[in-house]
Amino acid sequence: MKTNNVILRAVVKLVVFIILTLAVYLFLSGHHSPGGGFIGGLVVAAALVLLFVSFDIETVRGAIPFDFKKVAALGAFISVTTGFGSLLFGEPFLSQTFAYFDLPFFGETELTTVTIFEAGVALVVVGVVVTIILSIVEDV
Amino acid sequence: MYTVNLAIIIPFLAAMIVPIIYKRIKGIHVGWFVFLVSTALFLYLVSYIPNIASGETYLYTFEWIPSYNINFITYLDGLSLIFALLITGIGSLVTIYSIYYLSSEENLSHFYTYLLLFMGAMLGVVFSDNIMVLYVFWELTSISSFLLIAFWYHRKSSRDGAQKSLLITISGGFGMLVGFIMLYVMTGTMSIREMITTISGFHDHPLFIPAMLLILLGAFTKSAQYPFHIWLPTAMEAPTPVSAYLHSATMVKAGIYLVARFTPVFGGELTWFWVVTIVGIITLFWGSFNAIRQTDLKALLAYSTISQLGMIMSMIGISSVALRHGHSMNMVIYTQAAFAAIFHLINHSTFKGALFMVVGIVDHELGTRDIRRLGGLATLMPITFTISIIGSFSMAGLPPFNGFLSKEMFFTSILSVRELHFTSEVWMGLIPVVAWAASILTFVYCMIFVFKTFLGKYQEEKLEHPAHEAPFGMLFSPIVLGLFVILIFFFPNVLGNYVIKPAMYSIFPQLGAEDLGQHVSAWHGFNLELKMTIGVIVFGAFLFIFLRHWKGLYNWILPEKLSFNALYGNSLELIEKVSKIITNSYMTGHLRDYMVYIYIFFIIAVGGTLLNTKAFLFDIEQYSTVTEFEWLITIAMIIAAISMLLVKSRLTAILLNSVLGYGVSIFFVIFRAPDLALTQTVIETVTTVLFLAAYYFLPEWKKEDSKKRSKIVNGIVSVAVGVIFTTIALAVQNGKLFESISSFYENAYELAGATNIVNAILGDFRAFDTMLEVVVLLIAGLGVYTFIKLKARKGDNPLEDK
Amino acid sequence: METLTTILTGVLVSVATYLILSRSVLRVILGTAVLSHAAHLLIMSMGRGLKSGEVPILTDEALSYVDPLPQALILTSIVISFAVTAILLVLAYRTYRETGTDNLFEWRGIKDE
């Protein structure tokens, strides 16, 4: 797809970072307020799709040199393997746990194993959505 | 702890590794690895013999699906040990043999994977105590046999043989499954051991006889009993090591195992006795009768296997009488029949395995196994000749080979039938006569095997390769088996006391140990049994010498058209033809028609139920108020939806779909679902981009050019579906039958440390769903990628049909 | 409110059915997309009662929450239906490239190359 739209590009350059920040916020806040792995991943994917739509693919590819299939595979791998972690502690497959820690800068923080699982989910979502869109758009 | 369970798992694990070894390690034949596995298992099992012989049994439980009572329970006792030793022992010998038999150009990794798969499945069959687990392994042996028969899948006859064996054994297996379920319904347990203790209370249950017959159906199809024997001769299309292993020594004996295993459950019933004995006797006769007319050595052996299996089956049938009438002392004598059966089963595995390997050698070295082209090989292949003498004389029941002992015992047990007065004496007397006649025929085909192949005139011009002795590697396994044939003759009681006697405890757990042993001796006076054997030799020799004068009778008695094979072939063809006609009549190849079938079925079935149960009678209460804003969105969405049907441009349609999507996300906001609203909004955006990207390539849609009639049908169907759908949904909302389980999830903070309940459900309570969903998503992504990137290579021709 | 939502769902299902029965493959795919919207709304309305409580995020003030279970189910479903739509679209696109038509009736009987 050829697009040549200066205003769009200028805005996109700025907006993408805002979107990505929002994505990170949504991802991390998922435990206690709306958000989570799916949404975080989707918003990242949406930001990337926005980039691909407004710039040509080669440019963006150069800037973000990931193979998104591998990103997706890595995500699935993380999600599945975290499930086995609980087996080591004699718990059923995929049991999650959480604990509170006193960390410098953050104060009392809740750390959860769900976060790792959700990170996997997010990676899969990003990888798959971008792979799907790119596959179609590139195949000319 | 779970050592026996492990013994089952190890072959499967090894089967997984075989392709890797085959690919990585080029220097060593992959068969040696398989040999290592099976030999290790064999030695391991041998170490159990002393303990088993002293009457111990081993039980290991691995909970698999405890909520359905399905546990992976292995039970190692005398009976299963014999089979396990045969499986691993013959397995090792066959593996050595196959290393020299199969050329390295064959797809060895497939072959050995299937072989190990079979070994594991077969061990699973004999070790499983839970009938459901047993069934799974049972079908797995059928499947691996199918794969092995079709190993040379480019040959049509191999594929047909594989199909036939699969169809027959699997359908028998299904029958068996139904029988198992009936047993479970009756006794309430899936464990064979528990059934044996409780079954006595269920002899009058209406399901008792059907369950017995169905289980026998499974056993008979597997063990190639008349009239299901037709699959075994065609299964000879498999490579000879497979025939030696699966189709003579192990898999076909699974049926016998099953009958022996269920003897304590059903034994003592007259039906069981009659069905098993009579089917066995008929099979014995029919198999030996047919073996004589075969010209292919392997087919001859196949029919002889059928006949020998029938013989073993009939002995087990006779032995079940011992459990009749609460086992009085004078009935104990019938247990000897079971002893003879197991003894012969072991003997059969040794001599038949050796004979199959001999045929494999002949076939491999000379390029043919047609007796009309063979002859005079005795001097050219002396070792092979010796082994075949040992094997076939043992099969014919001559001393000094193990077959003589078990044949004599067979005569003893078959003669003992005369003392049972279940029906008129003429009928009871007929059984030994038929058995004796079958033994004569057995003698004849054994002589055919030896004399037509190895003696007579050597005809080199008819062979593909000139005759010469096989390499030692191929001779090794048959020599070992031949040695066993002789050793067992001289030391039968070692086998009897240490291996067979414990198995007798398993078949007759109700009887005391002191009644079950039996002393085997070669000479027990000039009694009726010995006279029968002499009669067999005299008549057999007579028939063999004048063979060509009466062989023509076969075509007269058994024309090819009337055989069961023809029946099978014709009915298969008929089924194919009829199902093709039926299928073609409604499978139009149009998606729309299929969807219409589905929807019409939905309308009739669900709508009919709705009318029938009067579930559509409900009053519409307003649960919560509807604001004007909500009305507005609803109406907007309805308008958007309906205009999707009418718009001319697909771009508009895509955008209208987005309108619906965003509408849904507004509803999510109203319904207090922030996570959903966020996700739906983003997904809708991405979906629209996706549609537009595809839209860029797809052609503009044309106006629907369907006929007016089908448009009307479509319209009616869609409205009806919508109406029924709405009615059901409203009815369901009206009649809530039980409390929602959702309140459990409101403990999210205590249980998962999260305040966002939805996320706690996704990531913690129901993380398994999420994990699988992620995997599905990944598969979808890869699917999309492959659809786009993978172009079909031109010029790839399918391998089929040579 | 439940009744209204359900009726809306019914309309969506009708429309989706009609689209799925049509000949153009893009219409069929749009039909499945509409069907999944309908399904989401239906699951939502099958819960413990719409708007009958607060957002399902635990706080000290709230007395009751709306049903969280349908929400979790729908969240999973949304993502899966995206994947399904994508697969179908790509399947249609690829078939169109190979056969040169997007008409389902013309696809019938096209020989595999």
Task: Chunk chain B into consecutive blocks of 10 residues (it has 802) and report each block's average pLDDT, rounded to whole numbers.
Answer: 78 89 84 91 90 84 75 86 93 92 84 93 92 92 93 89 92 94 89 86 86 94 90 89 89 92 87 91 91 88 93 91 68 82 92 92 87 84 91 89 89 84 76 90 91 83 80 90 91 86 83 67 77 88 83 70 77 90 85 90 91 76 75 92 87 90 92 89 89 77 73 91 90 76 79 81 84 89 86 52 43
Per-residue pLDDT, B802: 42
Contact list in A for residue B697 (CB cut-off 8 A) is 136
- By a Cβ cutoff of 8 Å, what residues of chain C touch chain A? 57, 75, 79, 82-83, 86, 89-90, 93
C66 Cβ under 8 Å from any chain B Cβ: yes
- In a shared domain, residues B57 and B185: yes
> Rounded CA gap, C61 and C51, in Å?
17
Per-residue pLDDT, B305: 93
The CA–CA distances, whole Å, from B77 to B54, B83, B364, B374 equal: 11, 10, 39, 45
In a domain, B262, yes or no: no
Closest CA to B256 of B211, B228, B222: B222
- In a shared domain, residues B172 and B42: yes
Domain range for B320: 267-569
- Kindly list the domain boundaries of chain A, sorted by start residue: 6-138
- Kindly list the domain boundaries of chain C, sorted by start residue: 2-107
Per-residue pLDDT, B801: 44
Which of C21, C66, C103 lies nearest to residue B718, judging by beta carbons? Answer: C21
Q: In angstroms, what separates the C-alpha of C80 from chain A's closest C-alpha?
A: 11
Asked whether the beta carbons of residue B755 and residue A33 sit closer than 8 angstroms, the reply is yes
- In a shared domain, residues B433 and B460: yes
Are the beta carbons of B124 and B135 closer than 8 angstroms? Answer: no
Asked whether the beta carbons of residue B686 and residue C82 sit closer than 8 angstroms, the reply is yes
Pairs of CB atoms within 8 A across B/C: 264
- In a shared domain, residues B640 and B704: yes
With the CA atoms of B483, B484, B488 and B491 taken in that order, what torsion angle do they form, in degrees rounded to the nearest 10?
A: 70
Per-residue pLDDT, B373: 84
> Rounded CA gap, B751 and B283, in Å?
66
A55 Cβ under 8 Å from any chain C Cβ: no
Closest CA to A129 of A10, A56, A40, A29: A40
Instruction: State the best of B672, B765, B779 to mutate against chain C, taking most chain C CBs within 10 Å.
Output: B672
- In a shared domain, residues B562 and B614: no
3-state helix, strand, coil in chain A (%, to 5): 70, 10, 25
Asked whether the beta carbons of residue B756 and residue A35 sit closer than 8 angstroms, the reply is yes
- In a shared domain, residues B678 and B707: yes
- In a shared domain, residues B621 and B706: yes
Number of domains in chain B: 4
> Rounded CA gap, B634 and B636, in Å?
5
Per-residue pLDDT, B704: 65
A2 Cβ under 8 Å from any chain B Cβ: no
> Rounded CA gap, B606 and B323, in Å?
54
- In a shared domain, residues B770 and B741: no
- Could you say which DSSP state residue C57 is in? B
For residue B400, say if its preceding peptide bond is cis, omega within 30 degrees of 0: yes
Closest CA to B761 of B739, B742, B775, B740: B742
Given this structure, which CATH class describes domain C2-107? mainly alpha
Phi and psi at residue B469, to the nearest 5°:
-70, 150
Which of 34-63 (A) contact B at CB < 8 A? Answer: 34-39, 42-43, 45-46, 49, 53
A30 Cβ under 8 Å from any chain B Cβ: yes
Contact list in C for residue B725 (CB cut-off 8 A) is 9-10, 13
Return the percentage of chain C with pLDDT > 90, whole number.
26
- Cβ neighbour number for residue B44 with a 10 Å cutoff: 16
> Rounded CA gap, B613 and B79, in Å?
56
Are the beta carbons of B638 and C5 closer than 8 angstroms? Answer: no
- Which pLDDT band, with edges at 50, 70 and 90, does C113 fall under? very low
Q: Which residue has the higher pLDDT, C47 or C18?
A: C18
Per-residue pLDDT, C109: 66
Asked whether the beta carbons of residue C69 and residue B740 sit closer than 8 angstroms, the reply is yes
Pick left, alpha or beta for residue B387 (phi over 0 → left; psi -120 to 50 → alpha; otherwise beta).
Answer: alpha
Alpha helices in B71-130 (DSSP H): 78-101, 108-127
- In a shared domain, residues B620 and B494: no
- In a shared domain, residues B163 and B130: yes
- In a shared domain, residues B769 and B739: no
Are the beta carbons of B104 and B29 closer than 8 angstroms? Answer: yes
- In a shared domain, residues B177 and B313: no
- Cβ neighbour number for residue B556 with a 10 Å cutoff: 7
**Residue spans of chain A under pLDDT 70:** 1-4, 90-92, 94, 103-109, 140
Are the beta carbons of A79 and B771 closer than 8 angstroms? Answer: yes
Per-residue pLDDT, B145: 93
> Rounded CA gap, C25 and B638, in Å?
23
Burial B747-772, CB ≥16 within 10 A → b, else e? ebeeebbbbbbbbbbbbbbbbeebbe
